[in-house]
């Protein structure tokens, strides 16, 4: 009997060992297979997550960024203790004890899920979540879980707990395009991560499980519930006192106010993006964390934005009311009080231009609803439309644009003025002539509506704003401001130019010809210089667009960009030296190594004496010619208006001793701006508004013709030109 028992036990042991061997072999085989294609976690030493590339203005302010994942990388020391405690309490209570896998945590989570009948708690450790985020897909499969566990063990063997926690806090997705807790703190609370409070840290720590479902923006109730759960976990883990937890749970979720899209310089930043991607590649720009130090000046850009928007609106209003954008009643709406327009989801501020719904119209006024506010539109609020009462131009159910002049939050009333979206376009470029830095750029009325940059991409005829290059060539050959020219009808082998006003003034000085923008004197000057000699001279100003060898180029009959023209004009106030325009000072990589550094690149364009004479001549339009409204600035300025045939393009190119700026106004399809919409009436007001704002409270500068600051001038002789008559030389220009 005893022998039989021993044999039976021996058989059981044999079977057990056999099955154990098979199980161990199978497990080893599975682990070998699953481990064969796993990445090496020691590569994390050099791992760098996708980081935002930021663009800085000339004073260090961030004006733009490029990123596939918006992330701000921080160190372990920069993570506040309250956030570390919140994350560990919610996600991995045994983080500092386990070695990558928490079997106790898995068992606890399984029991809770079983009792609840649904998944209420996960069993993955922070290390497992990190391994999934770094190396694996989010698929739910046995193979992925095995690989996740194996990777977690490897990570724990190679890295310290602070390193693992830091990587976790920098990598995770927290909703609305934000990756990592530092970026999320800035996005949700407008705070540096180090300044988070208990309730804020708890809310962020609660997001990784399901950022979309617990978004405090889209699901405030769920976010509050999940935040309070996180606070309870912090109390249970003794990270905070129970009393602190109760106080924190009673606080509401307070997010940073959502802002209206208010990009400072979208056209400028887009120019940089295209340049950077072409030079460094898309991956480096959107994931590499470059730092781009640009030349843009924030205050000048703001002034440029305001000037262009205001100028185009003023022009647009001169040409009348085009009607409401749409009527809701005509589209089947019945309850106007229940309709919510998308634009109302963002805060409404004074001076905002926002859509409103006309609720009622009577003989004297109209009632307009803008979000939670109501306005009474009086006749004076629509004065620019020439209508006597709102009833003449508006109907119940109309949706139109209104500018908010004032707000009374207590009784939810606002005062408004009727507006409409301009169809006309405009552009502005401002360059520091001393160093070539582009300080401001506006490429159109609305970047969101059209990404086409009319400052750098639109080739348009320049009208009379091109004449100074012709006169500069003549001055180089001896022409002087008080020499005379005959402003009279002339025929050049069938080409018969005419003046803007259709009149002829006879013998006049060059100074007067430029001031009044007479066309015939400019054409005669070009004819005397000779087109073959004039074209290479003009190209010295940086005009790279094609120049056809015809006399009408004296009147701007060639297509040039505003950017080229502004750069070309910058040679005049800089004593004949043109500094190649630049948008970048330097670019560094993630480690602050300099990738490129742009230094001023000088082009000796015209002799200094020629430049000084041209500065004097170009002050004449301001003193007594087509740009006299610029005298209101009460400081030395110079410039030239430009208007093309049929009033399709309006220009003003002007400068002070320290700033050159150009403005263009027109329609994209090259149709007329309207009768007498000249450079002086359509473009110059924008230039004036810009310069007035830039120089407010600044001392008056004089054209003293000193050598450029901190720049070395090179010497190059101007190209030889044919002799040109002085007294009696014929010139003529247009507005």
Catalytic residues: 91, 464
Q: In whole angstroms, give the CA distance from residue 429 to residue 456.
A: 9
Looking at the DSSP bridge assignments, the partners of residue 355 are 401
The helix/strand/coil state of 407 is strand
CB count in 10 Å sphere of residue 593 = 8
Q: In whole angstroms, give the CA distance from residue 515 to residue 511.
A: 6
DSSP letter assigned to residue 518:
-
Q: In whole angstroms, give the CA distance from residue 246 to residue 235.
A: 9
Q: In whole angstroms, give the CA distance from residue 172 to residue 188.
A: 15
Closest to 249 in 3D by CA, of 214, 202, 209, 204: 202
Structure-token match 């028992």, residue found? 5
State the burial class of residue 732 (Cβ atoms within 10 Å of its Cβ: 0-12, 13-18, 19+). buried
CA 500 to chain CA centroid, nearest Å: 39
Closest to 226 in 3D by CA, of 212, 239, 247, 241: 212
Helix ranges (DSSP H) in 499-590: 510-515, 519-529, 531-539, 562-569
Q: Do 485 and 731 meet the contact criterion of CB atoms below 8 Å apart?
A: yes
Closest to 466 in 3D by CA, of 413, 399, 534: 534
Q: In whole angstroms, give the CA distance from residue 309 to residue 243.
A: 54
Instruction: Give the largest CA-CA distance in the chain.
Output: 142
What tokens appear for 488 in the block? 């009279």
Angle between helices 198-205 and 181-189 in degrees, nearest 10: 120
Q: In whole angstroms, give the CA distance from residue 86 to residue 234.
A: 6
The helix/strand/coil state of 231 is helix
Beta strands in 72-114 (DSSP E): none
Measured between its terminal Cα atoms, the distance across the chain in Å is: 125
Q: In whole angstroms, give the CA distance from residue 510 to residue 727.
A: 10
Q: Do 445 and 719 meet the contact criterion of CB atoms below 8 Å apart?
A: no
Q: Do 655 and 695 meet the contact criterion of CB atoms below 8 Å apart?
A: no
CB count in 10 Å sphere of residue 158 = 15
Q: In whole angstroms, give the CA distance from residue 180 to residue 69.
A: 10
């Amino acid at each position: 009997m005893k022998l039989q028992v021993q044999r039976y036990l021996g058989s059981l042991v044999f079977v057990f060992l056999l099955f154990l061997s098979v199980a161990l072999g199978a497990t080893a085989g599975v682990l070998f297979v699953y481990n064969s294609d796993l990445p090496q976690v020691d590569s994390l030493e050099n791992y760098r997550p996708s980081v935002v590339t930021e663009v800085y203005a000339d004073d260090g302010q961030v004006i733009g960024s490029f990123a596939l994942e918006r992330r701000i990388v921080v160190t372990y020391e920069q993570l506040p203790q309250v956030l570390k405690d919140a994350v560990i309490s919610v996600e991995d209570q045994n983080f500092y004890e386990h070695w990558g896998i928490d079997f106790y945590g898995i068992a606890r989570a399984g029991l809770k899920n079983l009792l609840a009948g649904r998944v209420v708690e996960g069993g993955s450790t922070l290390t497992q979540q990190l391994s999934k985020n770094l190396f694996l897909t989010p698929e739910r499969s046995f193979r992925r879980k095995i690989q996740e566990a194996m990777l977690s063990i490897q990570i724990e063997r190679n890295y310290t707990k602070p390193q693992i926690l830091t990587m976790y806090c920098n990598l995770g997705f927290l909703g609305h395009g934000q990756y990592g807790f530092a970026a999320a703190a800035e996005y949700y609370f407008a705070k540096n991560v180090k300044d988070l409070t208990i309730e804020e840290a708890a809310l962020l720590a609660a997001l990784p499980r399901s950022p979309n479902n617990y978004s405090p923006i889209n699901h405030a109730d769920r976010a509050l519930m999940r935040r309070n759960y996180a606070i309870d976990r912090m109390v249970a883990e003794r990270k905070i006192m129970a009393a602190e937890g109760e106080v924190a749970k009673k606080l509401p979720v307070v997010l940073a106010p959502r802002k209206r899209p208010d990009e400072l310089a979208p056209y400028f930043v887009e120019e940089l993006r295209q340049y950077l991607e072409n030079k460094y590649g898309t991956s480096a720009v959107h994931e590499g964390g470059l730092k781009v130090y640009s030349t843009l000046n924030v205050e000048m850009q703001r002034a440029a934005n305001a000037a262009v928007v205001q100028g185009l609106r003023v022009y647009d209003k001169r040409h009348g009311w085009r009607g409401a954008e749409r009527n809701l009643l005509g589209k089947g709406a019945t309850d106007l009080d229940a309709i919510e327009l998308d634009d109302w989801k963002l805060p409404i501020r004074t001076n905002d231009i926002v859509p409103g719904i006309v609720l009622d119209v009577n003989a004297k006024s109209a009632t307009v609803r803008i979000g939670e506010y109501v306005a009474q539109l009086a006749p004076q609020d629509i004065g620019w439309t020439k209508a006597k009462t709102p009833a003449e131009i508006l109907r119940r159910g109309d949706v139109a644009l209104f500018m908010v002049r004032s707000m009374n939050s207590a009784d939810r009333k606002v005062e408004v003025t009727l507006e409409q979206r301009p169809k006309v376009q405009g552009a502005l470029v401002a360059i520091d002539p001393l160093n070539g830095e582009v300080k401001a750029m506006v490429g159109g009325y609305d970047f969101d509506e059209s990404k086409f940059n009319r400052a750098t991409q639109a080739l348009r005829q320049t009208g009379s704003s091109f004449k100074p290059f012709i006169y500069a060539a003549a001055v180089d050959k001896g022409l002087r401001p008080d020499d005379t020219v005959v402003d009279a009808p002339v025929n050049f082998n069938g080409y018969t130019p005419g003046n803007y006003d259709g009149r002829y003034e006879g013998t006049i000085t060059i100074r007067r010809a430029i001031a009044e923008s007479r066309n015939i004197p400019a054409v005669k000057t070009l004819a005397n210089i000779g087109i073959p000699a004039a074209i290479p001279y003009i190209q010295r100003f940086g005009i790279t667009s094609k120049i056809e060898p015809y006399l009408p180029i004296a009147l701007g009959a060639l297509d040039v960009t505003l950017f080229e023209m502004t750069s070309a004009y910058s040679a005049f106030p800089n004593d004949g030296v043109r500094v190649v325009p630049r948008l970048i000072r330097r670019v560094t990589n993630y480690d602050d190594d300099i990738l490129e550094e742009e230094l001023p690149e000088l082009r000796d364009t015209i002799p200094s004496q020629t430049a000084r004479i041209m500065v004097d001549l170009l002050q004449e339009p301001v003193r007594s010619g087509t740009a006299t409204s610029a005298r209101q600035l009460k400081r030395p300025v110079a410039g030239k208006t430009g208007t093309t045939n049929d009033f399709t393009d309006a220009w003003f190119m002007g400068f002070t001793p320290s700033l050159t700026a150009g403005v263009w106004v027109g329609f994209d399809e090259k149709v007329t701006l309207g009768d007498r919409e000249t450079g002086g009436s359509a473009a110059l007001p924008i230039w004036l508004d810009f310069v007035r704002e830039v120089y407010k409270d600044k001392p008056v500068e004089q054209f003293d013709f000193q050598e450029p600051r901190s720049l070395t001038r090179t010497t190059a002789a101007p190209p030889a030109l044919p002799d040109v008559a002085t007294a009696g030389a014929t010139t003529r220009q247009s507005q």
